[in-house]
Amino acid sequence: MNIIICVKHVPETAEAEIAIHSSGKKIKTEDLVFDINEWDNYALEEAVQLKEKHEGSVTAITVGSEAADSTLRKCLARGADKAIRLTDKAFEGSDSYVIARILHKVIQDLPFELILTGAQAGDDGYAQVGVVLAELLGIPHATMVKKVEPLKGFVKVNRELEGGLEEIMEVKLPALLATQTGINEPRYISIMGIRKAMKKEIQVLSLKDVGLTEEEVGESGSWITVEKMFIPPVEKKAEILTGGVDEITTKVVETLRGKGLI
C-alpha cells in the first residue's frame, strides 16, 4: 500500500507566550519552537504502521520553507521512505485552498492508494486542506479518523463524533483520511532512524515544478484573506450559583461540560 502523508511544520503555541505580528494578521514566530503538527504526527505513525503491515511505501509532503526540513527529517527518521518539500516565495500567504491545490498538482502524478493528513493544523486550525485536496483529486475522504483497517479495495475507518459517539464506515480506495490525535502511539525517533534519514535526500520543488502560475498561489490565489488577528482580552466573569446542593452540582457539571473541561 503506497501512502502519502501531508505534514505541516508549525510553531508550538500551546504553552508559549504569543505576540501578534506588526501586520496584525499573524502571530510572531521568531521565538517560537517549530515541530511537526501534532495531528500529522499521528498520521505519520499510522502511515508507517500500515506500511509495516501491508508493505508499500510512505511519502511525506509539506508546503513550507527550508526550516520544514526538520519535520520532514522526522518523518524519514520514523519510517517514511521519501520526502518532498514544496517551497517558493510565491507560496507565502496561501490559504488552505491554495495549499490543497499545490499539493494536488504534485500528488496527482504520484502513485498512491491512501493519503493521510492530520484532521487539522495546530496553528491555524482550519481543518480544510485534507478535505479540499480530496475533492480536487476526486477521491473520497473521511475526517476525524480514529481507526484505519485496509481491506480489499476499501478501508474500514472509525470516525470520532461529538459526545463520544463513533461511526464506522467503508471508504473506497484510493481515499484520503484526516486522522484524529490518539489514533495510535507515535514511536520515538531512534538514532538508527536519524542515521537513515540523513542519508536520504529531500526533494525540493518550486512553483515552476508544480505547474501553477504566480497568480494562482499566495494571497492572490486564495479565496480567504485574514483581516485581523488578536488576543481576546481576558474577561473576568464570575457567576454565583444558588440553590440546593444537587442543583448547584448539576449547574457546575453543565458549565464545565459546556466549556469542554470535562
Q: Which of residues 96-115 bind another protein (CB under 8 A)?
A: none
Q: Does 234 interact with another protein (rule: CB under 8 A)?
A: no
Q: How far is the CB of 9 from another protein (least distance, A)?
A: 13
41, three cell numbers: 504526527
Helix axis angle, 191-199 to 69-77, nearest 10°:
120
Three-state DSSP string of 120-155: CCCCCCCCCHHHHHHHHHCCCEEEEEEEEEEECCEE
Q: Does 136 interact with another protein (rule: CB under 8 A)?
A: no
Q: Which of residues 239-258 bind another protein (CB under 8 A)?
A: none
Segment contacting another protein by CB under 8 A, of 69-77, 115-123, 169-177, 212-220 = 69-77
- The HSE-up count of residue 135 (CA atoms within 13 Å, CB side) is 11
**Which neighbouring-strand residues pair with 143?**
none
Q: Which of residues 178-217 bind another protein (CB under 8 A)?
A: 188-192, 194-195, 197-198
5 and 49 Cβ atoms separated by less than 8 Å: no
How deeply is 8 buried, as exposed, middle or buried, from its count of CB atoms within 10 A (0-12, 13-18, 19+)?
Answer: buried
9 and 36 Cβ atoms separated by less than 8 Å: yes
Give me the sheet containing 141-151, strands edge to edge: 166-172, 154-160, 141-151, 175-179, 114-118, 3-6, 58-63, 82-86, 202-205
Q: Does 74 interact with another protein (rule: CB under 8 A)?
A: yes
Q: Which is nearer to another protein, 78 or 105 (CB)?
A: 78
Q: Which is nearer to another protein, 136 or 194 (CB)?
A: 194
User: Alpha-carbon distance 216 to 5, whole Å?
Assistant: 23
Considering only 6, 10, 47, 77, the residue that binds another protein (CB under 8 A) is 77
* In the block, residue with C-alpha cell 485536496: 133
Q: Which is nearer to another protein, 9 or 73 (CB)?
A: 73
Q: Which is nearer to another protein, 74 or 104 (CB)?
A: 74
Considering only 40, 45, 46, 69, the residue that binds another protein (CB under 8 A) is 69
Q: Which of residues 27-66 bind another protein (CB under 8 A)?
A: none
Q: How far is the CB of 31 from another protein (least distance, A)?
A: 14
Q: Which is nearer to another protein, 17 or 215 (CB)?
A: 17
Q: Give me the residues that bind another protein (CB under 8 A), please.
A: 69-70, 73-74, 77, 188-192, 194-195, 197-198
